[in-house]
Structure 1
Amino acid sequence: MTTYLLLCAAGFLAGAMNALAGGGSFVTLPALIAAGVPSVAANASSTVALWPGGVASVWVYRDGLGQVAGVPLLPTWLATLIGGAIGALLLLWTPTSLFDHVLPWLLLVATLMLTFGPRLGPLLRRHFSAGIVTVLSIQLILGIYGGYFGGAVGLMMLAAWSLLDTADIKTLNPSRALMTTSANTIAMVIFAFSGIVYWPEMTAMAIGALAGGYGGAHLGRRLPPQIVRGGTILFACAVTAVFFLRAYR
């Protein structure tokens, strides 16, 4: 019983983080692994568990949905769905032992993109203008990343979009919530039919994630973007360090 209560609490925190800026899997993935779930199955179960919270966040943010780097929402959404399906299938074909060593590098990439993306953005925008093909290609890759890993895909999207757009995190959050939830939706369907999901652990976490996603989205409308971003970066750095120690110690 204690394990399920802790998983529910982890889901609540992760749902709130995803609603604020992303990175909820930095909480759910280690929590599921600590509960004894193998890493590949933990990643799949985490994706399914965070889905209800993502849907709740999209509902709260629905009035703020808009273009991504000047590209209409529909083609961006379709590219994300296709990428999510590809990534989910790739995960199912990845041995757990290999994923354990790839995971910290995925976390590191996400953390670096979040940290340095806003600084690189103005420099790139001075020398490079992103068209619809570029934006959709980037979104397809992000969808693959989201379907495969799930962890920090929201952070990756915010970081990548900040390279192409001058909008702040609060403005981009509604579209980010929709895209991450869309990638998770198609991945969730594939994982559910594959039989890889640990349903009791996932259910406990999903209950917490639903409440956290709804509350976090409302909180995200009020918190300054600097606080949201700074806190997420610090937490991402800590979890990345822990997973490097776990994989290579």
Structure 2
Amino acid sequence: MTETVILLIAAFGAGVVNSIAGGGTFLTFPALVYVGVPPVIANATSAVAVFPGYLSAAAGFREEIGSLDRAKLIRATVVSLIGGLVGGLLLLVSSDDVFSVIVPFLLLAATAAFAFQTQLQGWMRDGVFQAQPYGIFGLFAVAVYGGYFNGGLGIVLLALFALWGMENLNLMNGLKNALSFVISAISVATFAVAGIVEWKAALLMAVAAIAGGYAGARLARVLPKPVMRAVIIGIGLTMSVVFFARL
């Protein structure tokens, strides 16, 4: 019973955190390892457990998502699906060692890009560098990252949206959760086919993650923008420190 409670609390918290910024994996993965699930299986099981929470979180932002251009949304979904599949397949045929070194730098860069969003957008307007809104290549690269390594996907997506020129945090969060669900769904299907998921724990945690995702979406809608930005940046910096510490 104690182990079950631990998994449920971790999954609910992960749903809330993923809805607001991303990083819920850092609650579910340690919880699974703590109750005795082997690390590799815990990683796959964690991915399965949290991905339904993205859908419930996206539902909490359905008004914002509905305001997006449908053609652009469909294109972004297709690109995310393909990128997530490529990333998931790469995980099955490659080692985590090299990527583990790259991850903290990616997270720190993504957090910095989000934190200095206004300055970056000013540089883009001044022609210092350009980022194509809803650009295929940038989104594909992020989707591959998410399919290969889900940790911090939300932060990376928010940073990409900031470079696209998006400023409405609720809109950014809605699109982030929708695309995170697509990216995670295809990679989770890959893990399931490979047979590396502990389904009993995954399904139990998925229920809690769904509830947490919806609760987090509602919380994000009422938090003041400065608080939301501070939470997102804080989570990004914390994840960066954690991964640097593991080098």
Fold conserved between structures, TM > 0.5: yes
Equivalent pair of 1:71/1:135 in contact (CA under 8 Å) = no
Distance (whole Å) between structure 1 residues aligned to residue 9 and residue 104 of structure 2:
23
Distance 1:101 1:200, change over 3 A: farther
2:192 counterpart of 1:179: no
Distance (whole Å) between structure 2 residues aligned to residue 89 and residue 116 of structure 1:
33
The answer for unaligned runs of 5 or more in structure 2 is none
Equivalent pair of 2:88/2:187 in contact (CA under 8 Å) = yes
Q: CA deviation at 1:77?
A: 0.8
The answer for unaligned runs of 5 or more in structure 1 is none
Q: Residue by residue, what CA displacement relative to the aligned partner does 1:136-164 show, whole Å, maximum 9, x if unpaired?
A: 11111111111111111121111111012
TM-score, length basis structure 1 = 0.85
2:15 counterpart of 1:6: no
Q: How does 1:123-134 map to 2 (within 5 A)?
A: 123-127=123-127, 128-131=129-132
Q: How does 1:55-74 map to 2 (within 5 A)?
A: 55-65=55-65, 66-67=67-68, 72-74=72-74
Q: Residue by residue, what CA displacement relative to the aligned partner does 1:146-198 show, whole Å, maximum 9, x if unpaired?
A: 11111111211111110121423222221111111110111111111111122
Distance (whole Å) between structure 2 residues aligned to residue 88 and residue 213 of structure 1:
23
State the match for 2:157 in structure 1: 157
- Partner of 2:53, secondary structure, is helix
Q: How does 1:84-233 map to 2 (within 5 A)?
A: 84-95=84-95, 101=101, 103-127=103-127, 128-131=129-132, 135-233=135-233
- Partner of 2:123, secondary structure, is helix
Distance (whole Å) between structure 2 residues aligned to residue 35 and residue 114 of structure 1:
35
State the match for 1:41 in structure 2: 41
Give aligned pairs, total: 245
Q: CA deviation at 1:82?
A: 0.3
Equivalent pair of 1:120/1:163 in contact (CA under 8 Å) = yes
Q: Residue by residue, what CA displacement relative to the aligned partner does 1:208-249 show, whole Å, maximum 9, x if unpaired?
A: 21110011111111112221221232233234323333x34x
Distance (whole Å) between structure 2 residues aligned to residue 231 and residue 15 of structure 1:
15
Equivalent pair of 1:110/1:152 in contact (CA under 8 Å) = no
Q: Quick one: percent identity of the two aligned structures?
A: 36
- Partner of 1:221, secondary structure, is helix
